[in-house]
Amino acid sequence: MHHGDANVIFDRGPIDVLAYILLQDDADSFELGEWLPRIRGAVQTLDLVVFIPIEARDRIALLASDDDGVPRSAVHKKLQEILLDDPFGFSVDVLDVEGATEGRARMVLQRMRRESR
């Protein structure tokens, strides 16, 4: 098994893809049981997942072409459920951040410093 470099930040990961898949009209055709060990293995290599909720005044402007059938809010709710309720037993450390960008960054850096001790 190849272990990557330390201090890598990913914008998206397997849980994002899983949330999206589970909301598709044909989600029943997805072999969740077959994929869970792989997803779990990938997720458990992460030191920290930072969950940034959609805010009341969404900071991300979307074009009409960005909506491909599954509303962003539905994916957000499913992702929140998977990360915070952990129904699939991923057992990954999740930091739920909110507020101003600078405050979010401070929260992440504080958690990283605390974990590195």
pLDDT of residue 22: 95
pLDDT at 68: 58
Residue 58's nearest CA partner among 71, 39, 41, 40 is 71
Alpha-carbon gap, residue 10 to 84, rounded angstroms: 19
pLDDT, block means (10 residues), the chain with 117 residues:
68 92 94 95 92 70 55 90 96 92 92 83
Pairwise CA distance, residues 43 & 37, whole Å: 10
pLDDT score of 64: 47
Least Cα distance to 23 among 66, 72, 60 occurs for: 72
d(CA 18, CA 62): 22
The pLDDT value given to residue 10: 86
In this structure, are residues 13 and 46 in contact, taking their beta carbons and an 8 Å threshold?
A: yes
